[in-house]
Amino acid sequence: MDGLVRVPISEQEPKVRATNFEEVCLGYTEEEAVKEAGRCLNCKNPKCVGGCPVSINIPAFIHEVKERNFEKAYQIISESSALPAVCGRVCPQETQCEGQCIRGIKGEAVAIGKLERFVADWARENGVKPTPAAQKNGHKVAVIGSGPSGLTCAGDLAKLGYDVTIFEALQKAGGVLVYGIPEFRLPKDKVVAAEVENVKSLGVKLETNVIIGKSITIDELMEEEGFEAVFIGSGAGLPRFMGIPGEQANGVFSANEFLTRSNLMKAYEDSDTPISRGKKVVVVGGGNVAMDAARTALRLGAEVHVVYRRSEAELPARAEEVHHAKEEGIQFDLLQNPVEILTDDKGWVTGVRVIKMELGEPDESGRRRPVEVEGSEYNIDCDTVIMSLGTSPNPLISSTTEGLEVNRRGCIVAEEVDGETSKAAVYAGGDAVTGAATVILAMGAGKAAAKGIDAYFKHQ
């Protein structure tokens, strides 16, 4: 029995946390972390490392935790990851490192994510910083966007001695870590701002309020400001809507708008930016963003229903997020799809008309295709609808950069191994290339592009 089960981790009680924006998971204590680290078998051929998009030397850092060498553990992680406190919190470890863990065959996988988080939090609390490059090489690189891919690419390049400047369109650095993921999953000041500071401590410069493609173009950055290479990590773009009647009504928001108001603009704290505090909210969609929107609406005082057209098994959100959402009292109306938003005569939402669905044959994604059940429509009363259906690429950069190839969906075309685009000295990665995906995949792409950019300079 011993060793089969993880050391449990403390969380805020569901009923308590449903009314506040404090972090849900409280993290391991030193004793708990050391004990959990003791479960690692320190495999000779560690499968977990292969499951990590940024190839952290997982057994090595866990070994140091077991030995209570937390600073050493941090330095091992930061060789591979610029954002460990973020990744420890939001990576889908269950399908990556932990999904490969030998411990997981008979019992529970080692809590790699929670240990990573412990190490990163310990480092922050004890003032340990990543080590900057000993020598600058003088080459100027521009990084567009300060989200996960941009911060990773910038951090890796700075460690290699490059002179890196990040350009951020919004007023704060962090990209989706700041505007998208809520405080209760990823604290902004304590965790995100601190990780950004760590990247800056490597010598990376940061300029906010610059919209590449509008304030200045990529060609101008290279011709007028002396940047020799550029990494585009501008993220996902315009929110998608369903195209059903009533979608323009007052009270229908994209998840991006709802979350940006709450997270970036701090509307949940009663800042000057207003937010709609619905009484009954329907969130359409089943991804991580939908869970974030639903749990934010709940904390703002609403009864929340998630409407998703497939069944629970197909929910794209992380299992942990779904579990947390359910514990907090969010209701899942599965195998249903909106066909119309109902409104009153002044144009405000009064409900959603949905149709029941059943699962048919598998589609291109391998998931069973949802099919409408004829005549099964019914109405759900609500005053707010949040559409969380993904995004389509932002055209600001692709439309203003000559020679930059995009695919038929409007995503920038870039090589997976090194981020190379069709334009010389321009690299790209993250959601701008893949469409909406995860923080860690974007970080993996940022890392690959940093290597690609370094190779580009070496071969010149």
Stretch that binds other proteins, among 105-113, 248-256, 296-304, 321-329 (CB under 8 A): 248-256
Contact 253, 386 (CB under 8 A): yes
Q: Which of 2, 189, 272, 402 binds other proteins (CB under 8 A)?
A: 272
**Least separation in angstroms between CB 229 and other proteins:** 21
Site for other proteins in 153-172 (CB under 8 A): 169-171
**Least separation in angstroms between CB 393 and other proteins:** 9
Stretch that binds other proteins, among 129-137, 250-258, 299-307, 433-441 (CB under 8 A): 250-258
Which residue, 75 or 350, has its beta carbon nearer to other proteins?
Answer: 350
Contact 450, 156 (CB under 8 A): yes
Stretch that binds other proteins, among 205-213, 330-338, 357-365, 405-413 (CB under 8 A): 205-213
**Least separation in angstroms between CB 145 and other proteins:** 11
Q: Which of 53, 113, 233, 251 binds other proteins (CB under 8 A)?
A: 251
Stretch that binds other proteins, among 9-17, 99-107, 130-138, 237-245 (CB under 8 A): 237-245
**Least separation in angstroms between CB 225 and other proteins:** 11
**Which position has the token pair 């996902």?**
236
Look up residue 30 and give its two tokens: 């030193």
The residues with which 362 forms a beta bridge, in sequence order, are 368
Q: Cα–Cα distances in Å, from 163 out to 63, 200, 229? A: 34, 11, 11
**What CA–CA distance (Å, rounded) separates 340 from 312?**
23
Each residue 340-379 as x (binds other proteins by CB under 8 A) or -, in order, gives ------xx--------------------------------
219 is a contact residue toward other proteins (CB under 8 A): no
Q: Which of 99, 132, 187, 239 binds other proteins (CB under 8 A)?
A: 239
Look up residue 250 and give its two tokens: 């007052």
Q: CB neighbours of 424 closer than 8 A, spacing ≥ 6?
A: none
411-446 in b/e burial notation, b at 16+ Cβ within 10 A?
A: bbebbeebbbbebebbbbbbbbbbbbebbbbbbbbb
**What CA–CA distance (Å, rounded) separates 172 from 237?**
17
Backbone angles phi, psi at 4, to 5 degrees: -80, -30
278-292 in b/e burial notation, b at 16+ Cβ within 10 A?
A: bebbbbbbbbbbbbb
Extended strands (E) in 20-144: 140-144
Contact 200, 161 (CB under 8 A): no
311 is a contact residue toward other proteins (CB under 8 A): no
Each residue 172-191 as x (binds other proteins by CB under 8 A) or -, in order, gives -------x------------
How many secondary structure helices (H) and strands (E) does the chain include? 19, 16
Which residue, 19 or 126, has its beta carbon nearer to other proteins?
Answer: 19
Q: Is 25 left (phi over 0), alpha (psi -120 to 50) or beta?
A: beta
Which residue, 19 or 209, has its beta carbon nearer to other proteins?
Answer: 209
274 is a contact residue toward other proteins (CB under 8 A): yes
271 is a contact residue toward other proteins (CB under 8 A): yes
Give me the amino acid identity at 114. K
Contact 247, 349 (CB under 8 A): no
Which residue, 248 or 376, has its beta carbon nearer to other proteins?
Answer: 248
**Which position has the token pair 């003088």?**
138
Task: Tally the residues of the chain.
Answer: 460
Q: Which of 94, 108, 219, 257 binds other proteins (CB under 8 A)?
A: 257
Kindly give the residue spans of alpha helices, DSSP state H, lying in 191-315.
193-201, 218-224, 255-262, 288-299
Torsion, Cα 55 57 61 66, to 10 degrees, reads 120
Each residue 379-398 as x (binds other proteins by CB under 8 A) or -, in order, gives ---------------xxx--
Stretch that binds other proteins, among 255-263, 328-336, 417-425, 444-452 (CB under 8 A): 255-263
Stretch that binds other proteins, among 254-262, 310-318, 328-336, 403-411 (CB under 8 A): 254-262
Which residue, 335 or 386, has its beta carbon nearer to other proteins?
Answer: 386
Sign of CA dihedral 112, 122, 81, 148: positive
128 is a contact residue toward other proteins (CB under 8 A): no
**Least separation in angstroms between CB 119 and other proteins:** 31
Q: Which residues contact other proteins by CB under 8 A? A: 169-171, 179, 208-211, 214-216, 237-239, 241, 248, 250-251, 253-254, 256-257, 260-261, 264-266, 271-276, 346-347, 394-396
